[in-house]
Structure 1
Amino acid sequence: MLDLLLTDARVRTFDPNRPWAEAVGITGGRIAYVGAAADAPAAKETRRLGGNLLSPGIIDSHNHLLLGFDSDAVSLEGAETLAEVRSRISRLAAERPDLDWVCAENAVYSIVDDRRPNADDLAGLADRPIFVTTYDQHSVWLNDAALTILGIHDGADIAWGRAERDSSGRATGWVTDFYTSAMTSAGLAALQRDIPMYSPERRYKKILGSLDMATRSGITTVVEPQVPVAEIGLFDRALREDRLSSRVIAALFHPVDSAPEFRQELRTAVDDAPRSDRLQFGPIKLYADDVIEPHTAWMLADYANRPGHRGHPSAPIGELTKIVTELDRLGFQTHTHATGDGGVRLALDAIDAAQATNGTRDRRHGIVHVECLDPADLPRFADLGIAAAMQPRHASPDLIEGTWMDNVGQQRWDRAWRVKSLMDSGAHVALSSDWQVGEMDPLVGIYSALTRAGLDGSSSWTPDEIITLDQALFGYTREGAWAWHAEDRLGVIRPGAVADLVAWSADLYRLDPSALLEQRADLTIVGGQIVHDTGATGGEQGEQGLNRVDIAAKTLNPDRSCAGHGHQ
């Protein structure tokens, strides 16, 4: 007898031997039956899905659980003017006199015109230090009190970023290179000493809130792409406390300026780390360059609006190749951030050299974002067996018109987020959200992949890169499984595969793209356990019943709004 039968469904299996079915049976956490509803065995519990779509669970291949939302900070999501930013921060300061620091998240770069925000813009809002992160986590905005407490006004350096100074040497209140510096051992230690928002307890709460959101969104595997070695214990705690409602693959962060001995420390950390069917460590996160919006991504030619400037790589030329080669030799799979076409080429060259030097095959190194791809480099992804971890939502015109488009220049727009071109070339494209830089809800990413338009449906951009619903789901399931060496058990519905499934609120294949944004995950199943249930599916339960995991709604519901666009 089956533990659970899901029937009266339109089942997209992604099994070439049986692409579609009507019913799926689960026993012992594995798929035991796929086929016609009339032929299904008896089950302890039956769920009738009313003709709605059942698919493999979503694999989000780049999702920052550690960023999350902080309940003791104010979100600047949707705040497009300095007046609105000041109003929200002032309100939090007034309502929370108990907070030693007033913290805010998700500020956009364009909050002021033609310059960086500065400390004067935050004057008069609080008698305490103010700490604001940008939506992409690459910059921080401080008020005068914060600059004084941190010693920046007195010329002190900070381990978690680079404080900008004006021509007279006075700190402006703007800090760059934040996220890459903050996740080093020294940077994180200083940040946790200085800023309450980064305490281990608040970071742990962010992980739990993000995981709950993932489960409610139909995500059954989350790749957390940037975990400092010092924070492995947070995930170990979640495992011990049975809070991993979705599977987690945690990539450890490797600062590009680390000493060679650090790579052996990573090997030891991964070998000694806790692991289970819900948690694994092992990929290594690297940076080839920074981001396009502040002109810090590495470009092959000058920025369109800054002649003579091409940004910069994250490490001296040749250094990334040395690092990737050594990590590859140590058995690591890498997950390298690259946004500019120059950064993407650096990452490709590094992986090419590593495989040639070590003679390795099928390591499945990944390159993240791939925002601007030179035509000459497009076939190299398939040739080198590289997984492109890309975010369809990032190509939406409502997020990138202005800064990104202007910086790159119209002559290079056809290089932007070439999802379809890469898929057509035979490359593996694992789709993802980049939460909380972008919305976590995979339906937002799928809609964006199908339209290349904003969430209001207007102004489709670079439509030659539009893909189909089937391609998008394939990218979020089968390709995600392949990227993490799990295609034998995840991302597919066939007998013997792990029962990671999501039942949607409609048959997505029968909807116009615009209607996708009104749908939701009704049922999320991880390893045969129901971990999210809206109650919308019809159920018939036998006497023995079925074990299930109760996931409390501890955070906001999945939000389809987004302050801006960025990347880690």
Structure 2
Amino acid sequence: MLDLLLHNGAVRTFDGAGWAQAVGITGGYITYVGTDDDAPAARHRIDLNGRLLTPGIIDSHNHLLLGFDPDAVSLEGASSLGEVRKRIAEHAVERPELDWICAENAVYSVVEGRRPNASDLSGVTDRPVFITTYDQHSVWLNDAALRVLGITHESSIPWGRPEVDADGNPTGWVTDFYTSAMTASGLRGLQRDIPMYSPDRRYRRITSSLAMAAASGITTVVEPQVPLAELDLMYRARAEGKMHSRVITALFHPVGSDAEFRKDLREAVDSAPVDDMLRLGPVKLYADDVIEPHTAAMLADYANRPGHRGSPSMPPNEFTAMLGELHRLGFQTHTHATGDWGVRMALDAIESAQRSNRTTDHRHGIVHVECLDDADLPRFARLGVVPAMQPRHCSPDLVAGTWMDNVGEGRWDRAWRFKSLADSGARLAFSSDWQVGEMDPLVGFYTALTRAGLDGGSAWTPDECLDLDTTLCAYTQGGAWAWHAENELGVIRAGARADVVVWSANLYTLEASELLGERADLTIVGGAVVHDARREFSDDPPVPASAAGVGHGVPAESHSTCAH
């Protein structure tokens, strides 16, 4: 007898081109896939009434540690300086007990034609102001913050690079924030100076992000950048029962770290308990920074800064040696690269590691791939490299202005090449990049299908639009393959783990514009109902199995992939 039968639905299995009507779950695993008529008896039954059931979403790049801080100002949707000033001023009045006024999600184009600076915040509050950009790669400070932090024309800080004007005075803008902030010294400095980075507030972000993931149909989350110093926060969330979705934790490898640090990474992974809900293992690297502040590495000059191409995070030969050593140590790497030069450098390093070690199935990933040269397009499939990409990032309401102007119209056809990569045979693994983008996968579905803003405006670079099936594959089967878990996750097949999501409608019958009005009705992880929007499951859900952890980097036999 089944523990649970979900029947009368449209079940997209991603086991080849398969569809079914019903799915049965027993002991945390899928034990039946087929028609309603042939389904075994079950202790519990849920009538799907034609709704779509798919494998659970695997969000392959989701910053649980970033989240949203309820004691900070959200600048999401604030497109003008006036709106930014208004929200910060209101927050300062409402929260007189705060020593710092912190804000998140500022866009680079909030001041037209230039980067924001400290004087743009003059008169808003007499307290120090600390603002992170939506991509977490830059910080905006007011004059009070510059004074409190002691930032002058000749000072440095451990968590970023303060910019100076032509006279050598600090502007209030700090670049290279996220790559510096997650180093041991950077994190110490932040936790000393900025209240928003205290361990308790960081933990609160993790738990709220995990709750949001379950409610969004996300059954596996890849946290792409956890410093060793904050690994205990992940263990705490697991011990306190806050991990309703599985979590794969990528450990951060700061630029400049030596072989001794890499041994520390290996020890942390090898000593981690085997757990079906929390797994360690991938290593996060940076090949370059980001395009908006002209710090990504480009093969040709930025369109609006002649003579400037940005630069890699480290000399290419050093990056290749570092990735090669991690490869030999058995690590899978997850490398941030946005510019076309940064992407090429990452591909070159992976190819060198494979050639030197005669191994090809590490499934190294390159994250973002915002700008991709034609010559490098076929290399992803040939090398078995995962393009770990975020559909929402190509939305014109995010990249119009700064990103588009910096890259230049002549290179827009290199931007977020989802369809070109899928057609080439590359295994796409999609994600939200929360909280850089909205966590809700339906937002990602809509953007992948339309390349349009959430306001429904005109599509940008529409030749790279995908269909829904390819998109869903990248969020399920593609993500499972990326993390060596295709036998257990990302598929509805007897013997796979019972990680599934029931959507509020059959998404395949809807227009792209209608997707944003839908939701995840039911999220099941290891047979346990972890989210139930319609309260369809009134009794105690099945207890998830406590078998060995997912994947653990062991190559598995291949299965057919989704048609592109």
For residue 546 of structure 1, the aligned residue among 526, 541, 549 is: 541
**Where in structure 2 are the equivalents of 1:313-352 lying within 5 Å?**
313-352=312-351
The one-letter amino acid paired with 1:125 is V
**Where in structure 2 are the equivalents of 1:169-188 lying within 5 Å?**
169-188=168-187
Structure 2 Cα separation of the partners of residues 123 and 307 of structure 1: 32
**Where in structure 2 are the equivalents of 1:393-412 lying within 5 Å?**
393-412=392-411
Structure 1 Cα separation of the partners of residues 104 and 86 of structure 2: 14
CA drift at 1:188:
0.4
CA drift at 1:413:
1.3
Kept after mapping to 2: 8 A contact 1:46/1:540:
no
Counterpart in 2 of 1:220? Answer: 219
Structure 2 Cα separation of the partners of residues 135 and 64 of structure 1: 12
Structure 2 Cα separation of the partners of residues 516 and 299 of structure 1: 35
Structure 1 Cα separation of the partners of residues 272 and 192 of structure 2: 25
Counterpart in 2 of 1:525? Answer: 524
Deviates more, 1:232-241 or 1:33-42: 33-42
Secondary structure of the corresponding residue to residue 428 of structure 1 = coil
**Where in structure 2 are the equivalents of 1:46-85 lying within 5 Å?**
46-85=45-84
CA drift at 1:115:
2.4
Question: Is 1:21 aligned to 2:16, yes or no?
Answer: no
Q: What is the number of equivalent residue pairs in this alignment?
A: 544
Structure 2 Cα separation of the partners of residues 365 and 394 of structure 1: 21
Structure 2 Cα separation of the partners of residues 308 and 94 of structure 1: 45
Kept after mapping to 2: 8 A contact 1:298/1:341:
yes
Deviates more, 1:352-361 or 1:279-288: 352-361
The one-letter amino acid paired with 1:4 is L
Counterpart in 2 of 1:6? Answer: 6
Secondary structure of the corresponding residue to residue 87 of structure 2 = helix
What is the TM-score with the length of structure 2 in the denominator? 0.94
Counterpart in 1 of 2:379? Answer: 380
Deviates more, 1:189-198 or 1:93-102: 93-102
Counterpart in 1 of 2:464? Answer: 465
Structure 2 Cα separation of the partners of residues 383 and 10 of structure 1: 35
Deviates more, 1:269-278 or 1:140-149: 269-278
**Where in structure 2 are the equivalents of 1:109-128 lying within 5 Å?**
109-128=108-127
The one-letter amino acid paired with 2:179 is T
What is the TM-score with the length of structure 1 in the denominator? 0.94
Deviates more, 1:350-359 or 1:520-529: 350-359
Structure 2 Cα separation of the partners of residues 170 and 144 of structure 1: 11
CA drift at 1:317:
2.4
Counterpart in 2 of 1:199? Answer: 198
CA drift at 1:321:
0.3
Kept after mapping to 1: 8 A contact 2:333/2:364:
yes
What do you get for the CA RMSD once the two structures are aligned?
A: 1.4
Structure 2 Cα separation of the partners of residues 471 and 51 of structure 1: 21
CA drift at 1:451:
1.0
Secondary structure of the corresponding residue to residue 495 of structure 1 = coil
Counterpart in 1 of 2:233? Answer: 234
Structure 2 Cα separation of the partners of residues 185 and 409 of structure 1: 37
Counterpart in 2 of 1:562? Answer: none
Query: Any stretches of 5+ residues in structure 1 without a counterpart?
Result: 550-568
Secondary structure of the corresponding residue to residue 529 of structure 2 = strand
Kept after mapping to 1: 8 A contact 2:527/2:541:
no
Q: Deviations over 1:2-54 (max 9, x none)?
A: 111101111000112x7011110000000011111111111111000100000
Structure 1 Cα separation of the partners of residues 108 and 301 of structure 2: 21
Structure 2 Cα separation of the partners of residues 21 and 317 of structure 1: 49
CA drift at 1:547:
4.0
Deviates more, 1:364-373 or 1:120-129: 120-129
Rate the CA distance shift 1:458–1:115 in 2: closer, same or farther, 3 A. closer
Structure 1 Cα separation of the partners of residues 538 and 134 of structure 2: 45
Secondary structure of the corresponding residue to residue 152 of structure 2 = helix
CA drift at 1:392:
1.1
Deviates more, 1:365-374 or 1:167-176: 167-176
**Where in structure 2 are the equivalents of 1:353-392 lying within 5 Å?**
353-392=352-391
Counterpart in 1 of 2:310? Answer: 311
**Where in structure 2 are the equivalents of 1:412-451 lying within 5 Å?**
412-451=411-450
Q: Among the aligned pairs, what percent are the same residue? A: 69
Counterpart in 1 of 2:43? Answer: 44
Structure 2 Cα separation of the partners of residues 490 and 519 of structure 1: 24
Structure 2 Cα separation of the partners of residues 275 and 106 of structure 1: 36
Kept after mapping to 1: 8 A contact 2:160/2:174:
yes
Deviates more, 1:521-530 or 1:250-259: 250-259
CA drift at 1:114:
2.3
